[in-house]
Amino acid sequence: MRWAILLVVLLALPSIHALEDGQIKLLAVSDFGDRQVGTTADLFLRVEPGSGEVFIESHPITRLDTQISTRFANEVVCQQLQLDCNEFNFFYTIQAESSIIGGPSAGAAVAVLTYSVLEEVPVPDTVTISGTVNSGGLIGPVGGLADKIKVASDVGAEKVLIPTGERFVNSENQTLDLVQSAGDYDVEVVEVADIWEAISHATDTVVEREVRDITLDDRYTEVMSELATQLCTNAESLEAEITADMMDDEAFERGQNLLIRGQSAFENQTLYSSASFCFGAGIQYRFLLLQDENLTIEQILKQVNELYAELDQFESSLPEPETISDAQIFAVVEERVREARDRLNATETIIEQNKEQGVFNLAYAYERLNSAEAWSEFLGQSGPSVTDQQLAAACASKIEEAQERYQYGQLFVTRDISTVQNGIIRAQEDQANGDYETCILRSAKAKAEANTFLGVFGVRRDRLSEVIDRKLEVVQHDIVTQSEAGTFPVVGFSYFEYSNSLKESDQFSSLLYAEYALELSNLNLEKEHTPSVPLDISSDSGSSIGIIIVIAIIGVAIIILGIRRTKKQPARVRSFKQVRRASIGKKPKRTAKRKPARKVTKKVAKKRTAKKRTVKRKPAKRVAKKRAAKRKSR
């Protein structure tokens, strides 16, 4: 009966496409006393139907940074190449003959191998790559390339891909050209800037990132123009109140510079940049005017309380967001309201010790409220709707991503990155309060800040402008993609525009806003969680009914077999190690198989009966008497 049921199930099951495994050679370095030597390792990948989980196993055990960089490289290649990785689980295995130095240099190889397996485009065993993967799919610098190229030739590699800008290295007080010197080892060295170039060179398959012009949403242009006009007009009216005796103050000069930049940006129709510059000018002018009033501490605190009341009234008037666009704009408005409150709180705290700083905080709070009111004009956007469940899931996901990037940054970045941690903490507070819109914004910004620090790690200053340009190309592509999907990323585009305006004057801030734009142009809030193995049910009623019948047969078969199994023997409980081995593709140790039972003939049965009869059993009474005697003797 059981075999009949299994046969029915197997015949009814649809064919399942088994994904190919993949492998690529890794280039690494090992420590030998006071020197490092190039070595190799093998990276394997198995992809199975699943729910987007990533598993990493290594022999010998690698450091945490290698594990985090593997997960991040997987995330980047899936996102940037628009691969639906939520339908699969990824099992990466690193095998090396000796202990290797951990690090992020395997990231580029992970990205190439992931694409190779998913798209079934093999990577020749004569090709290898060394480089990190940064946000947006850019390939970042790594160390030890000269040693890695030499060992690559020793294992038969013919082509080695390295990060763009790493061609020239210092070796023994000399500049070494890796492209030319590789000819001594019969190896071709190619510089690659991003995962698109890396995949194209590794697989001989052309993979391009199409960069198209952004078509501005009409409502965006209309409302942002009003926002910039409002903030610039406000700054100009404050400037008109400045008297001659205030013009020698540095704050006035800063305000003038910012106002001129704001007016120029408006003429060039870079509207968010115009609004930002005029907002900064308004702070400087209002600070001067408040200072000139020579307010007492009591008068300052009175204004603080009045502004608190205005903020409360404004916040209570905000409508609940119903679309994806509104959720992002609502988060921006809320962020500005909270910044204003923070400044008022800082004023109350510091006013006794530093009156000037307290007045500046008050001026900032006034202008932040003006900015929040201007941004609220964007609310009421059309587009795909969003639910609290989707927002909560996106909030939790972004916090997790930000935490991982923060941990990763702590391993490499020498600068203080506590601002990243502070952003995560505040996002967690928003999550606990159910403020999912601001949670998403804050955690996305925290992740972007961590990516900014990591993105410039090891990058020479003369290459920073190239990194910014490439990052902005990726952002531009994402904005076009989101727009075509029916949602114009208002906040993402605003930060994209502002990043462009800062390229010449402040490169680090430009890169930071490019990272903000990248994160906020790729939220995909409308995407629900998919089941582990999704079913592709066509619109044809006949095929749908057939699939339903198959599912019903499988369900009944499993129930029947389960009942029969529970009657015969208890369920076998697997240990944690067995479960873990199974989850990463390692087979658990096999237990010895029992030999099949021999057919019992009449002759065999007769012999067994005879043997049983020859066994002498002691009478129960005699055994009891002996036990009693032993007890007495004791």
What does the alpha-carbon distance between residue 562 and residue 351 come to, in Å, rounded to a whole number?
A: 73
| Residues of the chain falling short of pLDDT 70 | 1-19, 31-35, 61-64, 98-103, 524-634
Q: How far is CA 410 from the centre of its chain?
A: 16
The pLDDT of residue 596 is 44
The pLDDT of residue 322 is 87
Q: How far is CA 335 from the centre of its chain?
A: 22
pLDDT tens column, 123-140:
999 999 999 999 999 999
Neighbours of 29 (CB within 10 A): 22
What does the alpha-carbon distance between residue 115 and residue 102 come to, in Å, rounded to a whole number?
A: 23
The pLDDT of residue 497 is 94
Output the pTM of the full model. Answer: 0.74
According to DSSP, the residues that pair with 168 across neighbouring strands are: 177
pLDDT tens column, 421-468:
999 999 999 999 999 999 999 999 999 999 998 888 778 888 889 899
The pLDDT of residue 582 is 43
The pLDDT of residue 2 is 54
The pLDDT of residue 19 is 58
Reported as half-sphere exposure (CB side, CA atoms, 13 A), residue 98 has a value of: 12
What does the alpha-carbon distance between residue 483 and residue 427 come to, in Å, rounded to a whole number?
A: 27
Positive or negative, the Cα torsion across 450, 451, 452, 453?
Answer: positive
* Three-state secondary structure call for residue 419: helix
b/e sequence 471-489, b meaning 16+ C-beta within 10 Å? bbbbbbbbbbebbeeebbb
The pLDDT of residue 627 is 47
The pLDDT of residue 577 is 33
